[in-house]
Homo-oligomer: A and B are copies of this chain.
Amino acid sequence: MTAEEKPLILIADPEPRTLDMIFEPDDLRRLHALGEVIVHADGSRLAAADLEAALASAKVVIGQVDLPAERLSRMPNLRGVINVEGNFLPNVDYDHCFAHGIHVLVTSPVFATSVAETALGMALDLSREITATHEAFRDGSEKWGLASNAGSFLLTGAKVGIVGLGDLGTALRRMLVPFHCEVRVYDPWQPERRILEQNCIPSGLDELLSASRVVFLFASSTSENQGFIGARELALMPKGAVLLLMSRAGIVDFPALEEALRSGHIRAGIDVFPVEPLSADAPLRKLDGVILSSHRSGGMRESFLEIGRLVLADTELLLRGLPPQICKRAERETVARMRSKPVEVS
């Protein structure tokens, strides 16, 4: 095979990721071994004509470059587009891709482990009042012994609800196995069978909220579910229950959540907010029964380096003429409903 015949892998507009952030040196070497790699990224921009030429030859595109139908129609070799930001963005003509057998992929599964760890850590913390006790130590007001555990409960054997059994929910479910919880799942995009396979109970949302002492929110933000966890839903939760908001702020009615915390009805761990950073004078900062986290559950250096490994695995399959197996595929039926805002800063 001559150099010209090597398949072209184009990295285009990977921002907010940088190559350093997502590829370990060895993984980058392995990518180069798969084909000719051309980079169009901050610090290494192609001229417009060169970019178009590269697009016209590319077999795999890695990054968030605009791919309207007109451009795609000039890309006859294209087999796959791999988004490394994490959300399916509207700058790709998905219909064209579906019609022409071009896989559009995201590497979002890389965040599952990290988010699930944080969610479990916060759940244990809130159910056992670890942070609250520690805060009491700071001002000398802590209680000792049995009295200190009056509001605590064991996660082991507790009834748990998971809203959204995608990558994140599945990762968390696995971490719950040793705790022998009864786990209810609400996920309208999943068939009952998938839920049962993970040893969970398919459930309606209201039933889940009423029955569970710990509820994990992992649902994507879609055109249909804005603010679907509101005052009515929070009121269904048992007193003292624990809510973990890990995915998207848009799915929760924040004023209602704040009120449920202020009244002491529930406790919550919150990693995402309607406006980030959270304003300095937000009342949430002073409430009891809450653990605040600055949209940091997923963004570990280790998770970002996983992106490169997923890209590598599926690029290899695509170039061998096989279907991708590792990244998450855009699906014709659901991609248009996704509503997550892209991340601006890694």
Contacts and interface: CB of A to CB of B under 8 A. Distances in A.
Interface string A179-212: 1000000000111111000000000000000000
Contact of A191 (B295, B304, B314): B314
B134 A291 contact: yes
Nearest to A335: B323
A130 B118 contact: yes
Interface of A: 98-101, 113-114, 117-118, 120-122, 124-125, 128, 130-131, 133-135, 137-138, 140, 142-146, 148-149, 152-156, 174-175, 177-179, 189-194, 276-278, 280, 285-286, 291-296, 299-302, 304, 309-310, 313-314, 316-317, 321-323, 325-326, 331-334, 345-346
Nearest to A197: B326
A179 B189 contact: no
B280 A140 contact: yes
Tallying the copies of this chain within the complex gives: 4
13 contacts: A99-B100, A117-B124, A133-B294, A134-B292, A144-B276, A144-B295, A153-B302, A174-B178, A191-B326, A193-B309, A321-B333, A323-B331, A323-B333
Given A117-B155, A294-B148, A313 B192 contact: yes
